[in-house]
């Protein structure tokens, strides 16, 4: 018998049509994705054998290599093994999982919290289980793909409002009164723009039109608001928000995500969200590391201060060079380029000069609005930032993107 793999011709064609662009990019040396790191996420990391200043890591507070965090993870592996080998409702809950849920609820000041194995899954779980065919979801144009996918998994109707445009949000709320349930979804800090949602206005409108709010605090958790709860705290509206989502993969330098909410909603999500019921739970080492990172985050406040100091140094430096940071007011600092090819060339050239900044192209951002997307961390030194600024200026000048 001929033991060749059996493949549908049509599926094979579809795959080939798409991958030819990836292969072309790799052959022309323009492929800028998946650099292979051979070190931890630090101010300077190693790609292959080359040292690079890291301007793309969500390790905002530099906790990925914190000795206490690492130690807690190691101890958890020794005690619980590498994985839970099951979903939460069956064998996937350890006392650590319960402790982390309590710690998250306590941190946000909510009655309860549900943790999932990824931030991505936390958004899917909350949105796809809470919204149904009687729901209209009103969502910001620039919401993250995990929100878009959560909406697509629900049976809800969707209305999209122009980024941060509160008049448009009100217009939609006013014109969709026939829906029994309304859910507004925004991000605290937008992941590709680095700007902040006008949450106080969102809350006012939600109250007026009887809507729930889900706010994704992935890029604000840990360093915005007095306690670090995010933009909902900064704007003084945390207690008005139905579901506050965050991920553990950024400030807490791990993997996993949570929805902080009231007890009944948490219980509802646990017994309805497929991402909770049909997915293996967070590994105990990740839970223990996250718990310890949460503790360190509260104790070592200097990390937040260093993060903001670095952010200001970088953003001001980029603006001084004459580049467009797209209204960012957070450690997410985009540098606008526009053209995809030039964007990728710049990323490649920067990398070979020892600076890593990821490329953001469609579908992460709208077509022809590509940008370099820097994320600043507390691990960077002033010197490393100056080095990067210098290289950025030289390369952008070479491409005639600076007047």
Question: Interface with ligand PMP by CB under 6 A: which residues?
Answer: 118-120, 123, 144, 146, 187, 191, 216, 218-219, 247, 249, 257
Q: How far is CA 98 from CA 86, 262, 278, 284, 322, in A?
A: 15, 16, 18, 11, 49
* Residue number, 128 or 191, with CB nearest to ligand PMP: 191
* Residue number, 123 or 359, with CB nearest to ligand PMP: 123
* Residue number, 249 or 311, with CB nearest to ligand PMP: 249
The helix/strand/coil state of 34 is coil
CB of 56 to ligand PMP, least distance (A): 11
Strands 181-187 and 157-161 turn out to be unpaired
Kindly write down the DSSP assignment for every residue of 174-236, as one continuous string: HTTTT-SEEEEEEESB-TTT--B--HHHHHHHHHHTT-EEEEE-TTTTTTSSSSS--HHHHTT
* Residue number, 119 or 225, with CB nearest to ligand PMP: 119
* Residue number, 222 or 257, with CB nearest to ligand PMP: 257
Q: How many CB atoms lie within 10 A of CB 366?
A: 12
CB of 351 to ligand PMP, least distance (A): 21
CB of 190 to ligand PMP, least distance (A): 8
* Residue number, 193 or 384, with CB nearest to ligand PMP: 193
Residue 88 backbone dihedrals phi, psi, to 5 degrees: -55, -45
d(CA 37, CA 33): 12
The helix/strand/coil state of 101 is helix
d(CA 203, CA 184): 9
- Per the CB < 8 A criterion, the answer to whether 138 and 182 are in contact is yes
CB of 1 to ligand PMP, least distance (A): 43
* Residue number, 120 or 396, with CB nearest to ligand PMP: 120
CB of 41 to ligand PMP, least distance (A): 14
Backbone angle region of 256, left / alpha / beta, with phi > 0 → left and psi within -120 to 50 → alpha: left
Residue nearest to ligand PMP according to CB distances in the complex: 119
Residue 291 backbone dihedrals phi, psi, to 5 degrees: -60, -45
* Residue number, 45 or 249, with CB nearest to ligand PMP: 249
The CA-CA-CA angle for residues 73, 78, 80, to 5°, reads 85
* Residue number, 43 or 188, with CB nearest to ligand PMP: 188
CB of 40 to ligand PMP, least distance (A): 18
CB of 54 to ligand PMP, least distance (A): 16
- Per the CB < 8 A criterion, the answer to whether 216 and 149 are in contact is no
CB of 247 to ligand PMP, least distance (A): 3
Q: Strands (DSSP E) along 291-356, which ranges?
A: 332-338, 355-356
* Residue number, 122 or 389, with CB nearest to ligand PMP: 122
CB of 187 to ligand PMP, least distance (A): 5
224 exposed, middle or buried (CB, 10 Å; 0-12, 13-18, 19+)? buried
Residue 56 backbone dihedrals phi, psi, to 5 degrees: -145, 90
- Per the CB < 8 A criterion, the answer to whether 248 and 254 are in contact is yes
């Amino acid at each position: 018998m001929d033991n060749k793999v059996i493949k549908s011709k049509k599926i094979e064609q579809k795959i080939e049509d798409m991958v030819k662009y990836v292969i072309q990019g790799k052959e022309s040396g323009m492929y800028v994705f998946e650099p292979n790191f051979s070190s931890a996420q630090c101010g300077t990391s190693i790609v292959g054998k080359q040292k690079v200043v890291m301007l793309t890591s969500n390790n905002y507070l530099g906790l990925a290599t914190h000795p206490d965090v690492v130690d807690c993870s190691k101890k958890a592996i020794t005690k619980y093994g590498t994985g839970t080998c099951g979903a939460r409702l069956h064998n996937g809950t350890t006392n650590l999982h319960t402790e982390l849920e309590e710690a998250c609820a306590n941190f946000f000041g909510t009655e309860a919290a549900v943790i999932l194995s990824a931030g991505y899954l936390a958004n899917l779980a909350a949105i796809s289980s809470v919204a149904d065919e009687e729901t209209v979801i009103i969502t910001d144009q620039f919401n993250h793909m995990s929100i878009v996918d959560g909406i697509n998994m629900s049976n809800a109707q969707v209305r999209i409002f122009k980024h941060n445009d509160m008049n448009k949000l009100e217009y939609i709320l006013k014109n969709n009164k026939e829906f029994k349930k309304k859910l507004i979804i925004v991000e605290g800090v937008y992941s590709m723009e680095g700007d902040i949602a006008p949450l106080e206005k969102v809350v006012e409108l939600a109250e007026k039109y009887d809507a729930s709010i889900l706010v994704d605090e992935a890029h604000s958790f840990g360093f915005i608001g007095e306690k670090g709860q995010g933009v909902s705290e900064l704007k003084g509206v945390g207690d008005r928000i139905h579901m506050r989502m965050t991920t553990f993969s950024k400030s807490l330098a791990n993997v996993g995500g949570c929805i902080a909410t009231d007890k009944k909603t948490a219980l509802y999500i646990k017994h309805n969200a497929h991402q909770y019921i049909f997915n293996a739970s967070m590994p105990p080492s990740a839970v223990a590391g996250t718990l310890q990172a949460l503790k360190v985050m509260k104790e070592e406040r200097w990390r937040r201060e260093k993060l903001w100091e670095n952010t200001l140094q970088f953003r001001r430096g980029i603006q001084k060079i004459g580049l467009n940071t797209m209204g960012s007011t957070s450690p997410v600092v985009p540098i606008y380029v526009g053209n995809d090819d030039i964007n990728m060339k710049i990323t490649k050239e920067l990398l070979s000069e020892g600076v890593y900044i990821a490329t953001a192209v469609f579908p992460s951002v709208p077509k022809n609005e590509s940008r370099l997307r820097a994320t600043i961390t507390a691990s960077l030194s002033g010197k490393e930032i100056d080095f990067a600024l210098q290289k950025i200026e030289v390369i952008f000048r070479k491409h005639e993107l600076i007047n």
